[in-house]
Amino acid sequence: MFTGIVQGTATFLYIKKISSMYYEYSIQMPDFLLKNIQVGNSISNNGCCLTVVKIYKNIVIFNLIQETFKKTNLKFLKKGDQINVERASKFGDEIGGHIVSGHIITTAQIINSFKKENTCTFLLKLKKKKIMKYIFYKGFICLDGVSLTVGKILDNNFYIHIIPETLLSTNFFYKDINYFCNVEIDVFSQTIVDTCIKFMKK
């Protein structure tokens, strides 16, 4: 489990296909996030919950299954790109964002960007329009592993507003029009909506 409060960024190194079933994916982690890291740990990479399979000093290696490769923006990464990372939460940790599982449901494309001083507003369009039923004004959404609040909703698009702290501590600083963000919707919103739809059909 994660909170959506990104702890830092890591440098993407490579993705290579190992078999028809999975890929090997590697990043260079910042030193301050390496403490007590072990094989088997879960780490959020741009919002994707991945399991550590190998560690070489500050290089951490994961495996990606086909489903993760197809559904997320990890396949678009180029060597040197910065990705958002968060270590898994522990009992007793402060939940500053919202409960995040690291299971990406789709991607959203930035179709407009408004930057002013140290803040930024993005207008996004979901790849899967049917997911819009889970998006609510002032509701939670997780984009590239960052817990955010939904702004104004416009047809099948929605706004998010990035505060200076988030802009400086995540890879949002590098994002612009046509970038695809990984999307995880709020599990409680999804449960309520799906339950209501189920009972309405009866």
C-beta of residue 48 within 8 angstroms of C-beta of residue 72: yes
Domain 8-87 CATH (choose: 2.40.30.20, 2.60.120.10, 2.60.40.1120, 3.20.20.70): 2.40.30.20
Report the distance separating Cα 149 and Cα 166, nearest Å: 12
Q: For position 173, what pLDDT does the model report?
A: 86
Q: Identify the pLDDT of residue 79.
A: 96
> How confident is the model at residue 91, as a pLDDT?
65
Distance CA 161, CA 86 (A): 21
119: which 2 tokens? 């803040």
**pLDDT at res. 1:** 83
Contacts of residues 130-138 at CB distance under 8 Å and 24 or more positions apart, as own/partner, are 131/105, 131/106, 131/183, 131/185, 132/156, 132/158, 133/193, 134/185, 134/186, 134/189, 134/190, 134/193, 135/185, 136/189
> Rounded to the nearest 5°, which phi and psi values hold at 145?
85, 0
Query: CATH topology of 8-87 equal to that of 106-200?
Result: yes
Q: CB atoms < 10 A from the CB of 77, how many? A: 19
pLDDT at 197: 86
Q: Tell me, what's the pLDDT at 137?
A: 94
Say what the pLDDT of residue 199 is. 83
| Domain positions in the chain | 8-87, 106-200
Contacts of 4 (CB under 8 A, 6+ apart): 86, 97, 98, 100, 140, 142, 145, 146, 147, 148
Q: Which fold has domain 106-200?
A: Elongation Factor Tu (Ef-tu); domain 3 (2.40.30)
pLDDT at 183: 97
Predicted local distance difference test score (pLDDT) of residue 48: 97
Query: What is the block-wise mean pLDDT of the chain (202 residues), using blocks of 10 residues?
Result: 90 95 96 93 96 96 94 95 90 69 94 88 93 92 95 93 90 92 90 85 72
Say how far apart CA 101 and CA 68 lie, in whole Å: 14
One-letter identity of residue 81? D
Q: Are the C-beta atoms of 147 and 116 separated by less than 8 Å?
A: no
Phi, psi of 175 (to 5 degrees): -85, 150
- Give the pLDDT confidence score for residue 97 in this predicted structure: 65
